[in-house]
Amino acid sequence: MHSTMMLLGVWFGLLTLTYTLPVKNSTGVHEGKVRSKRRYSDEIDPDEMNIMDQILEVNNRLRAPRGLAIRDGDIASSYLQSAITCAGNTCLWPKSVDGFVYVPYLLSPLYDDMDRITIETGMQDISAGTCIKFVPRTHEANFLDIQPRYGCWSFLGQTGGSQTLSLQSPGCMWSGVASHELMHALGFVHEQSRSDRDHYVTIVWNNIVPAYIHNFKKQVTNNLNSPYDYSSVMHYGRYAFSDGSGPTIIPKPDPYIPIGQRDGPSALDLHKINVLYDCGPTE
Ligand SMILES: [Zn+2]
């Protein structure tokens, strides 16, 4: 009788274990799947998400803020001042006599310490290899007003006055996302928007959600005599704006070249900033 009770107890214990553990686990797996399903494409391996994939994930349901339009996924333009006019060498931040380009910024008090560190790391990743210095604003008339608005987005180049750069928390809290948006503010468009992109990538128009086809328009860009950079922090991911039937961007001639990355500005990104801002030789 006693041993039967014990056996029953063990059996019941095991039953409870088998029913609690796997249920918990499978819920986790299920949540993961649901989460990746919510991405604009369920073909992206979460481990391979690059900076732009993360931005589009956050901006997925972004409605443009009042008075603004968002194009190419994360570039803001106002109806009054078209950011597209910044695509050339206009709208650059001015160079100081000491050879540095100071970009004043305000960080919203809504950010916590971790957020500030992440954003400042994104700044330092640019500053470390270029003549761009992001400095807390004191009295400057033109500055970046960095706020946790809805989504990750920026204007293109210097617009004059206070210009919002949105880094939502926690969605945009990757230093690479901060670097990406800061590079828009420095005047850079997405890498696959370059005027010469058709030599380097095939855009698979049939796989793009029709409403987003405009996000693949080429821009008139100054390519700064620099090679096309598949690993630019400004490159869309392979499945950007895919309708689920396959990749939207295929590198050529080798379709397996990895595109975009998640760490931060590439060596070529920094090189291009140096050329655009005429930084001179840097270490
Ligand atoms: Zn962007």
Instruction: Give the CATH number, domain containing residue 169.
Output: 3.40.390.10
Q: Is the pLDDT of residue 54 over 70?
A: yes
Q: What is the mean pLDDT of the chain?
A: 83
If you write DSSP's letter for every residue of 135-185 in order, what string do you get? EE-SS-SSEEEEE--SSEEEESS--SSEEEEEE-TTTT--HHHHHHHHHHH
Query: What was the pLDDT predicted at 24?
Result: 33
Contacts of 216 (CB under 8 A, 6+ apart): 192, 193, 203, 205, 208, 241, 248
Find the mean pLDDT for residues 124-149.
97
Other CB atoms within a 10 A radius of the CB of residue 145 amount to 17
pLDDT (average), residues 112-116:
98
With respect to residue 229, please indicate whether it lies within any of the assigned structural domains: no
247 lies in some domain: no
**Between 75 and 14, residue with greater pLDDT:** 75
Assigned domain for 70 exists: yes
What is the CA(115)–ligand 1 centre distance, in A?
19
Q: Specify the pLDDT at position 30.
A: 33
The pLDDT assigned to 196 comes to 92
> Mean pLDDT, to the nearest integer, of 10-20?
42
Q: Residue 213 falls within a domain, yes or no?
A: no
Determine the structural domain holding residue 100 and report its residue range: 48-191
Predicted local confidence at residue 2, as pLDDT: 56
User: 92 alpha carbon to ligand 1 midpoint, in Å?
Assistant: 17
Q: Residue 226 C-alpha to ligand 1 middle, in angstroms? A: 19
Sign, Cα dihedral of 29, 33, 38, 43? positive
Using a pLDDT cut of 90, give the percent of the chain over it: 62
When divided into structural domains, the chain yields a total of 1
240, part of any domain: no
Q: 3-state class of 203 per DSSP?
A: strand
| 190 annotated as ligand-binding | yes
Query: What is the number of residues in the chain?
Result: 283
216 belongs to a structural domain: no
Q: Was 180 annotated as part of a binding site?
A: yes
- The listed range with the strongest mean pLDDT (29-38, 78-87, 106-115, 252-261) is 106-115
- Tell me what pLDDT residue 3 has: 54
Active site residues: 181
Closest CA to 55 of 142, 152, 133: 152
According to the model, what pLDDT value does residue 86 have? 52
CA atoms within 13 A on the CB side of 253: 0
Place of tokens 């920026």: 154
- Ligand 1 geometric centre to CA of 15 (Å): 52
Closest CA to 124 of 198, 177, 175: 175
Q: Are 154 and 165 in contact (CB under 8 A)?
A: yes
Residue 83 pLDDT more than 70?
Answer: no
> Which residues, 6+ apart, have CB-to-CB distance to 143 below 8 Å?
103, 104, 105, 106, 137, 162, 163
